[in-house]
Amino acid sequence: MTDESTDSGASVAGAGDRPEEGLDPRVREYTAGEEQEGIPFIGAGPGDPGLLTLRGKELVDEADLVVHAGSLVSSALLEEHCADAELVNSVGKDLEELIPLMRDAHEEGRTVVRLHSGDPAVYGAALEQIDALEREGVPAYVVPGVTSSFAAAATLRTQLTLNGVANHVAFTRPRGKTLDAADDHIGEFVEMGDVTTCIYLGTHAVSDAMDRLLDREGVDPETPVAVVYHASWDDEDVITGTIADIGEKVEDAGYRASAMVLIGEAATGAGYERSYLYGDWANGGSADAAGDGSNGAGDGAETTGAETTETEADD
Ligand SMILES: C[S@@+](CC[C@H](N)C(=O)[O-])C[C@H]1O[C@@H](n2cnc3c(N)ncnc32)[C@H](O)[C@@H]1O
């Protein structure tokens, strides 16, 4: 504990106040997901306990104290992996409460884990907690998880990038209490046409967001939209429609939270073109034949002759 240690209720330094300028010196010392000293910030995945990573499961199984993200971490997962641990719901607790709670438990020698929904890197506010803990002398690190847009794509039996349909993916959220209207870019992403727009934190605002899209000249009201409520949970539900009618459908269903909204042709899984990976390239065509290898979906590096070219590999 340092002299500036945070007693419960005392102020915790705010976001962006990192202890060091630039990259953390531990970067390159560990690989992603490797067990490290301190408190792991674990991505719990979208809900199904089977979608927790093996490393996450090992760490959660051993925990004495699990601080979790409330209703977004499924009770099935908590029951399956945290039956013997003390559970603390982080919802409604500020940093001034959470940091001393985790710090004190860690310093008492208890095994503490912080469980975020999906992946902590996406709308998780993990870094401000990690930095605040480290200022208290408690190291912390991230164990990634399956983000909910990936689970929604799996539910929909589609890809977020789809050859000839969607070359880009945008993770975004709608304007609201924490995002100024000027910083809401959903309209720009949708207008681009070849982007799959994944809206987090927007279930309550689907109608509003769609109304704004309908006001934009460059947006086709018939653009497909899929809303996946509780992707991977037992009560998962899928609502499909278009920009013109999805708002009403979601309102009729009564969902106000916990859904992923995917906008774009890729949400249907239709209309794609055969990829370069399983076409010309597999048949011995040079990777250069596609120029930058842009004619496909996926990621990977493939060696063709002396040259390593980024091509489209299956995931
Ligand atoms: C605070 S953000 C956290 C996102 C999380 N870190 C992730 O990677 O999925 C919460 C939002 O994620 C989305 N979400 C989380 N779990 C979900 C699930 N199982 N199904 C659909 N959407 C989900 C919803 O849009 C919800 O409003």
**Residue 6 confidence (pLDDT):** 47
Q: Which residue, 34, 4, 37, 40, is CA-closest to 19? A: 4
**Residue 258 confidence (pLDDT):** 96
Q: How many residues does the chain have?
A: 315
Q: Which residue, 36, 42, 11, 10, is CA-closest to 24? A: 36
**Residue 283 confidence (pLDDT):** 79
* Angle CA 71–152–87, to nearest 5: 20
Secondary structure (3-state) at 308: strand
User: Between 293 and 221, where is the model more confident?
Assistant: 221
Residue ranges around ligand 1 (CB below 6 Å): 46-47, 72, 116-119, 122-124, 147-148, 151-152, 200-201, 203, 228, 230-233, 257-260
Q: How far is CA 90 from the centre of its chain?
A: 18
The DSSP secondary structure of 241-253, one letter per residue, reads: EETTTHHHHHHHH
> Letter for the amino acid at 276?
Y
CB 297 within 8 A of CB 165: no
**Residue 262's beta-bridge partner residues?**
198, 226
Cα–Cα distance between 265 and 39 in angstroms, integer? 41
**Residue 263's beta-bridge partner residues?**
197, 225
pLDDT digits (tens, 9 = 90+) for 190-241: 999 999 999 999 999 999 999 999 999 999 999 999 999 999 999 999 999 9
Ligand 1: centre distance to CA 152 (Å): 10
pLDDT digits (tens, 9 = 90+) for 30-67: 999 899 999 999 999 999 999 999 999 999 999 999 99
How far CA 291 is from CA of 69, 167, 168, 211, 311, in Å, comes to 45, 16, 18, 40, 10
Percent with pLDDT over 90 in the chain: 73
Cα–Cα distance between 207 and 97 in angstroms, integer? 35
Check pLDDT > 70 for residue 7: no
**Residue 18 confidence (pLDDT):** 65
Lowest mean pLDDT among 128-137, 216-225, 227-236, 285-294: 285-294
* CA-CA-CA-CA dihedral for 288, 294, 299, 303, to nearest 10: 0
**Residue 293 confidence (pLDDT):** 43
Please report which residue ranges of the chain form alpha helices under DSSP H.
54-61, 75-81, 95-107, 126-135, 148-155, 186-192, 206-214, 246-253
Q: What is the mean pLDDT of the chain?
A: 87
pLDDT digits (tens, 9 = 90+) for 108-118: 999 999 999 99
pTM for the structure as a whole: 0.88
User: Between 218 and 15, where is the model more confident?
Assistant: 218
pLDDT digits (tens, 9 = 90+) for 155-170: 999 999 999 999 999 9
User: Between 32 and 9, where is the model more confident?
Assistant: 32
Which helix (H) or strand (E) covers residue 181, if one does? none
Nearest Cα residue to atom 7 of ligand 1: 118
Sign of the Cα torsion 217, 218, 224, 228 reads: negative
Mutate to test the pocket of ligand 1, among 115, 117, 203 (most ligand atoms within 8 A of CB): 117
Percent with pLDDT over 70 in the chain: 84
Secondary structure (3-state) at 103: helix
Mutate to test the pocket of ligand 1, among 123, 169, 172 (most ligand atoms within 8 A of CB): 123
**Residue 286 confidence (pLDDT):** 55
Largest Cα span, the chain: 66
Check pLDDT > 60 for residue 301: no
